Amino acid sequence: MSRQPADGPHKVLLFIPHLQQGGAERQILELMRRLPPRYAPSLCLYRHDDGARHHYEAYLPPGEPRHALGVDSMGPVGLRRLVELLRAERPAIVHSYRDKANLWARLAALVAPVPVVLTSVRTRFQGPLYTAAEFLLQTRSDRVLTNSRGIEEELVHWAGVAPHRIQIINNFIDLEEFRPPTPEEREAARAHHGFLPGEIVLLLPGRLALQKHQIGLALSLAMLRRAGELPPSVRLVLAGRSRDKLYSRAVPVAMRLAGLGDRVTYLEPVKDMQRLYHAADVLVMPSLFEGMPNAVLEAQACGLPAVVSHAANRDGIVIDGESGFEAPTLDPAALARAIARITALSDDERRRMGARGHAHVSGRFHPDRILAETVALYDELLAAKGLA
């Protein structure tokens, strides 16, 4: 039985645990809405959730997500339902995103074979279970995709994945949505968020978690404050959900101990990230580890200069000294120096730096290139299976 009508599109089942706000979730939806008509994608989640419409209403095609397994977490029940879905839908391609979905998609494909199985690893430090799964199940993936050099190195050196099985395809960035603001848009965005004229707004978007290193940023800002090098007009904005409970409770304490309590604004996950980028003056991303950080891509596309750790810049999103500054990872003094340099610039100098970032991201990470690489891979693998 054919996997699709002879003159019809190839079915692609895209599988991800949920649509909470995050980078991988947006990437799977960007792919879904950009695939050419010869592919017919549908989306499968563990269960339907309200967050999908809240965060991604503009990205979800009508009728999606089409499939939900009706489980909060995968196990025998979820696996059985995924196998039943594969047998009923008979997709030509299963393309999963994130470590948990990658594990279960490959197990299901062992029971209900699918011509092409693609797994996308989007995070660093997957943990021992999923690292072992990558080693044991790598032959069940026609290609292991990732978006970052750092993740590729971990897959090879930690998980033992054969290099020829891995392909880097960078993230999509919507250059129509994420673009530099007009003066009027910037003024309106700052008014919306209550930022005062003359304030230098440092923005760190991302969940409150060890990975994002908010406490390390507090230490760096405290160093500047004690040295008299932190302008009184600086405001720090932390935008993201409290994922790590202990760490998220420790962040406000660290900010107060650093003498920054009245300079910090905490925002819940923000739906309109474009407006927040437009309102800010500098993106700060001091992460201890990252794959391909969407926030850095989006901010630079919006013309926002950035201070990033080396771990957050493994793929060269920020050009050090041109579109922002890079500091060694886990070096609070170096991070403090980079922040001091960028806050000492004039507004015009920061805008020119951001404009160079926009030009770099628009050229190197253009969505047409990312889509072309993905579709070429789909076409190649289907042709190898005699389904082109």
Examine the domain organization and report whether 277 and 348 are in the same domain: yes
More confident residue, 283 or 172: 283
Examine the domain organization and report whether 50 and 113 are in the same domain: yes
| pLDDT exceeds 80 at position 4 | no
| pLDDT exceeds 90 at position 125 | no
pLDDT of residue 244: 79
Examine the domain organization and report whether 166 and 312 are in the same domain: no
Examine the domain organization and report whether 28 and 168 are in the same domain: yes
Examine the domain organization and report whether 70 and 187 are in the same domain: no
220-226: average pLDDT: 97
Confidence of residue 50 (pLDDT cuts 50, 70, 90): low
In angstroms, the CA 385 to CA 257 distance is 61
40-69: average pLDDT: 82
**What's the pTM?**
0.84
Report the percent of the chain where pLDDT is more than 90. Answer: 84
Per residue in 227-239, pLDDT (tens digit) is: 999 999 999 999 9
Range of the domain at 42: 10-173+366-384
Calculate ∠ Cα 52-55-57, nearest 5°: 70
Examine the domain organization and report whether 189 and 163 are in the same domain: no
| pLDDT exceeds 60 at position 52 | no
Confidence of residue 57 (pLDDT cuts 50, 70, 90): confident
Which residues lie across from 204 on neighbouring strands? 238
Examine the domain organization and report whether 359 and 370 are in the same domain: no
pLDDT of residue 270: 85
Q: Which three-class secondary structure state does DSSP give residue 183?
A: helix
pLDDT of residue 269: 80
* Count of structural domains within the chain: 2
Write the CATH number for 294. 3.40.50.2000
Examine the domain organization and report whether 46 and 91 are in the same domain: yes
| pLDDT exceeds 70 at position 104 | yes
- Residue 166 exposed, middle or buried by CB count within 10 Å (0-12, 13-18, 19+): buried
pLDDT of residue 59: 80
Examine the domain organization and report whether 270 and 318 are in the same domain: yes
In angstroms, the CA 216 to CA 352 distance is 28
Is residue 37, in this structure, part of any structural domain at all? yes
Is residue 1, in this structure, part of any structural domain at all? no
pLDDT of residue 1: 46
Examine the domain organization and report whether 334 and 197 are in the same domain: yes
Query: Distance of CA 1 to CAs 92, 210, 235, Å?
Result: 12, 49, 62
Is residue 5, in this structure, part of any structural domain at all? no
In angstroms, the CA 305 to CA 319 distance is 10
243-260: average pLDDT: 93
Report the percent of the chain where pLDDT is more than 70. Answer: 96
- The answer to whether residues 201 and 235 touch, using CB atoms and an 8 Å cutoff, is yes
Confidence of residue 260 (pLDDT cuts 50, 70, 90): very high
Examine the domain organization and report whether 137 and 215 are in the same domain: no
